[in-house]
Chain A
Amino acid sequence: MFLRLLYQSFRRQQRRKLLAGIAVTLGVAVATAMIAVGVDVGDKINRELRRYGANLVVYPADAALSVRIGDQELKPASGGTHLKESSLSNIRGIFWGHNILAFAPFLETQLPTRSGTIRVIGTYFDKQLRFGTEEFSTGVEKMYPWWKVQGSWPTDGSSDLLIGSQLASRIGKQVGDSIDLLGSSARIRGILTTGGAEDNAIVAPLALVQQLLHAPDAVDKIYVSALTKPEDAFARRDPERMTAADRDRWYCSPYANSIALQLREIFPGARAQQIRQAAQNEGTILSHISGMMLLIAVASLIAAALAVSAAMATTILERRQEVGLMKSLGATASTIASLFVCEATLLALGAGILGFLLGDAIAQRIGQAVFHSGVAITPVLLPMVIFLALLVTIAGSAAAIRRALKLDPVLVLRGDA
């Protein structure tokens, strides 16, 4: 009898059930979408910011002081210590290797040419590297997407190079011209505009500069762009003074400081540290953005809950006559209440799953439209939102059910209540 009542209620009152169902579906959808976007937006913006330069730097610990003012290196190139180029691909193998988005080695020198002393920077443009069985490419094309090249990028194995735009106009060189470097001739493949010191320099493949300097395998500095977690008090602690458990936790968190330590481990005798300008300020922006999105998600959750409760309350208030009839036929209050609760539960489950799917789709659309990539949704979210839907639907119905039960069946059936 109970099941039949339940079944008939869904079959006969399709409009009401539809309206309540729509309310629950939409409420769950918006909650799902907002939570998914709110959780993921930090990661997305982090990647976005990481496209604008490095946040870690590695250089030999005993490197001489750089004596540079503006674009000019005022110190003759010294035969200081270098890092090993051959260790570079190991960067991929550190604990947080997959958080390393890009890196680029640099080797610099000043070369005398016919048009005066010119600063020459050797680096990777888009170098193919291999770590274990994994192939990947890295270099300045990935690290500095704001570098503009008129002409084309040279390949890493060649003796072609880029010339900075200011230098090019000063010494009157164009794309396709050759330039004489220590007796060997190199072709200019493109003119580089960066808005920085490189505008006044030549940027060449690392191998070419090593050859010019007679310094095989040598690298001055490595810039690394890594996805990191905003720094907190724990991140700033000194790992040397931690307990073993704390140190493990510190080591296994993607803080800029712990990634720097892992980089030091593959370059013995090197200093690796965060570039504070990037690392510190990004943390602020990221925590602001994800904090705001999460607060909005919570607010929309509450709003959706209120809206769903209101919708549920209305549908039950409409059914006072039904309650009156059932009561006059001898149904107990608990039977009636359990009927309504069962109805609400079925509604919440059905509409909740539908809403989750809809919310998932909406979150994906937002992700695609704004970041050109999907939004990661954790499966934990499904039971969570279903539970919330159940809670809200039943809570929204409860007050209305109590009211409906309190009414005198006679008055209700006569239409006086």
Chain B
Amino acid sequence: MSVRASMFFHVLKRGLLGRGNRPLIAFIALSVAATMITAMLSLYQGLEDKLNRDFRSYGANITLAAPDGKNLPSDAVARARSILGSEALVVPFAFAVTHTNRDEPIVVAGTEMDQVRLLNSWWSVSKWPSGDDQALTGVRAESHLQVDHGGFDLAFAGRSLHLQYYGTLKTGSDDEDRVLISLKIFEHWTGIGPSILEISLPGSRDQITTAISQLQVVFPDMQVRPVRQLLQAQGAVVSRMRSIMLASTLLIALTVALCVFSTLTSSVLERRRDFAVMKAIGSSQSTVNALFAGEALTVALCAALVGYPLGSVLAALISEINFHAVVTPRLSVLPLVISTDIILALLAAIVPLARLQRIEPAGILKGE
């Protein structure tokens, strides 16, 4: 290493380590900037996924229905599942009008209980049936059934079925007027197959819209419909929250950056004496500039490397507290954080340096 270079690094090292807590303050300020920028960007990137997941708990976002009075093809469930992948929930529903002992009409739905339970997690159910002859009765339907010894009878086309009363369903919708039983029993009893598939797809509004056109191609005779109000609400809320988060990120980044800028600027200005001494003993302008820039760069890089893990932890903490979901640190944020910190530090050094260059070293040293 040349003498020049080793001298340069010596001065740089002394500047960073031997000058009390001034570089420390710059370091803290830049770390705070890096932490906040990392945290906000990580949250911003993860937000859409989380909100989409929240909207999924509303239940089905697509319905696939056979034309009036017809059944779906027998392989419809399997085909829909294979097209949509394992993440999607595809729940078949079959319906029939049956009669109670008092000859009152009541709708019975056959479905896959374990799937419905996943699909409509918001249903209030006293007890989920597990056996085949166990029924889930809507709270309104219940008052119209004559339950004795824990069971009741329903008749369909002259064939009667004894069901065990098991759980009560509360939804606030038409489902309360129905009795739900397992699809297998239902088909065996009535000979009617599913007429509706309720589908819950993960993903954004656009991904769901794409899936709908895919399904329509595969099932040309069926009606494939989005649950429109749900998709619109999802789209609106996600885009609003994206804007809010973006605005907050920019606001926080800008504020922290300006505070850092004012801290760094004054600490560089304060060193005008060092600057003057260096020039007086013959170092060139570019060496002095490089020295200040080197200092700024080193501090910025260290601060970014400390701020990134801190920010990732902060983001993880916020989503753990709030969404009960783990967020993995996002490496894609790191280059952005490092470059922001470096640009910030360099800018904060350049502005005062440009001012100092216009001043004669002798003037500064004499204290003018």
- Asked whether A37 lies within 8 Å of B248 as measured between CB atoms, the reply is yes
Among B9-17, B226-234, B294-302, the stretch that binds chain A is B226-234
Given contacts A30-B252, A30-B255, whether A299 and B39 have CB atoms under 8 Å apart is yes
B88 to chain A, nearest CB (A): 19
Within 8 A of B (CB), among A249-302: 273-277, 279-281, 284-285, 288-289, 291-293, 295-296, 299-300
- Asked whether B323 lies within 8 Å of A288 as measured between CB atoms, the reply is yes
Within 8 A of A (CB), among B67-102: 68, 95, 97
> What 0/1 pattern do residues 61 to 95 of A give for CB contact below 8 A with B?
00001111111101100000000000000000000
Judged by a CB distance under 8 angstroms, whether B165 is at the interface is no
B30 to chain A, nearest CB (A): 9
- Asked whether A306 lies within 8 Å of B28 as measured between CB atoms, the reply is yes
- Asked whether B240 lies within 8 Å of A273 as measured between CB atoms, the reply is no
Given contacts A19-B262, A276-B171, A284-B54, whether A34 and B252 have CB atoms under 8 Å apart is yes
- Asked whether A318 lies within 8 Å of B255 as measured between CB atoms, the reply is no
Given contacts A273-B172, A284-B54, A310-B29, whether A29 and B322 have CB atoms under 8 Å apart is no
Task: Provide the bound-state CA to CA distance between A73 and B259, in Å.
Answer: 67
Query: Which residues in A have their C-beta under 8 angstroms from that of B330?
Result: none
Judged by a CB distance under 8 angstroms, whether A204 is at the interface is no
Task: Provide the bound-state CA to CA distance between A310 and B267, in Å.
Answer: 11
Among A175-183, A240-248, A327-335, A362-370, the stretch that binds chain B is A362-370
B232 to chain A, nearest CB (A): 5
- Asked whether B263 lies within 8 Å of A314 as measured between CB atoms, the reply is yes
Within 8 A of B (CB), among A208-257: none
- Asked whether B318 lies within 8 Å of A299 as measured between CB atoms, the reply is yes
Query: Which residues in B have their C-beta under 8 angstroms from that of A296?
Result: 40, 43, 248, 318
Within 8 A of A (CB), among B53-68: 54-55, 57-59, 65, 68
Judged by a CB distance under 8 angstroms, whether B174 is at the interface is yes
Judged by a CB distance under 8 angstroms, whether B189 is at the interface is no
Judged by a CB distance under 8 angstroms, whether A201 is at the interface is no
Within 8 A of A (CB), among B190-232: 195-196, 225-230, 232
Query: Which residues in B have their C-beta under 8 angstroms from that of A366?
Result: 244, 247-248
Q: Which residue of A is nearest B35, CB measured?
A: A303
A247 to chain B, nearest CB (A): 22
- Asked whether A310 lies within 8 Å of B174 as measured between CB atoms, the reply is no
- Asked whether A195 lies within 8 Å of B227 as measured between CB atoms, the reply is yes
Interface of B, helix, strand, loop or mixed by DSSP = helix
Within 8 A of A (CB), among B246-290: 247-248, 251-252, 254-256, 258-260, 262-263, 265-267, 270, 273
Among A52, A291, A293: residue with most chain B CB under 10 A: A52
Query: Which residues in B have their C-beta under 8 angstroms from that of A415?
Result: 273
Task: Provide the bound-state CA to CA distance between A392 and B43, in Å.
Answer: 26
- Asked whether A26 lies within 8 Å of B233 as measured between CB atoms, the reply is no
Task: Provide the bound-state CA to CA distance between A307 and B40, in Å.
Answer: 16
Judged by a CB distance under 8 angstroms, whether A134 is at the interface is no
Query: Which residues in A have their C-beta under 8 angstroms from that of B124?
Result: 276
Instruction: Name the contact of A16 in the complex, choosing from B259, B266, B319 (C-beta under 8 A).
Output: B266
- Asked whether B107 lies within 8 Å of A277 as measured between CB atoms, the reply is no
Task: Provide the bound-state CA to CA distance between A275 and B265, in Å.
Answer: 59
Task: Provide the bound-state CA to CA distance between A296 and B39, in Å.
Answer: 9
Q: Which residue of B is nearest A289, CB measured?
A: B241
Judged by a CB distance under 8 angstroms, whether A159 is at the interface is no
| Count of chain B residues with a beta carbon within 8 Å of a chain A beta carbon | 81
Within 8 A of A (CB), among B139-160: 140-141, 144
Given contacts A37-B248, A307-B29, A307-B256, whether A369 and B243 have CB atoms under 8 Å apart is yes
Instruction: Name the contact of B321 in the complex, choosing from A22, A48, A295 (C-beta under 8 A).
Output: A295
Judged by a CB distance under 8 angstroms, whether B8 is at the interface is no
B358 to chain A, nearest CB (A): 16
- Asked whether B322 lies within 8 Å of A277 as measured between CB atoms, the reply is no
- Asked whether B122 lies within 8 Å of A281 as measured between CB atoms, the reply is yes
Among B40, B140, B265: residue with most chain A CB under 10 A: B140
- Asked whether A70 lies within 8 Å of B259 as measured between CB atoms, the reply is no
> What 0/1 pattern do residues 15 to 46 of A give for CB contact below 8 A with B?
01001101100110110011001000100110
Q: Which residue of A is nearest B68, CB measured?
A: A72
Given contacts A69-B95, A303-B35, A371-B240, whether A277 and B171 have CB atoms under 8 Å apart is yes
> What 0/1 pattern do residues 163 to 175 of B give for CB contact below 8 A with A?
0000000111110
Task: Provide the bound-state CA to CA distance between A196 and B231, in Å.
Answer: 13
- Asked whether A314 lies within 8 Å of B267 as measured between CB atoms, the reply is yes
- Asked whether B318 lies within 8 Å of A295 as measured between CB atoms, the reply is yes
Query: Which residues in B have their C-beta under 8 angstroms from that of A196?
Result: 228
- Asked whether A48 lies within 8 Å of B174 as measured between CB atoms, the reply is no
Instruction: Name the contact of B322 in the complex, choosing from A51, A75, A292, A311 (C-beta under 8 A).
Output: A292
- Asked whether A275 lies within 8 Å of B173 as measured between CB atoms, the reply is yes
18 residue pairs of the A-B complex, CB under 8 angstroms, read A26-B258, A30-B255, A37-B248, A45-B237, A65-B106, A66-B107, A66-B174, A146-B232, A277-B59, A277-B172, A277-B173, A281-B54, A285-B237, A288-B323, A291-B322, A310-B29, A317-B21, A370-B243
B interface with A by C-beta (< 8 Å)? 21-22, 25-26, 28-29, 32-33, 35-36, 39-40, 43, 47, 50-51, 54-55, 57-59, 65, 68, 95, 97, 104-107, 120, 122-124, 140-141, 144, 170-174, 177, 195-196, 225-230, 232-233, 236-237, 240-241, 243-244, 247-248, 251-252, 254-256, 258-260, 262-263, 265-267, 270, 273, 314, 318-319, 321-323
| The 3 A-B residue pairs with the shortest CB-CB distance in the complex, in nearest-first order | A307-B259, A195-B228, A52-B233
4 further A-B contacts with Cβ under 8 Å, apart from A30-B255, A273-B172, A277-B172, are A281-B57, A289-B241, A300-B248, A369-B243
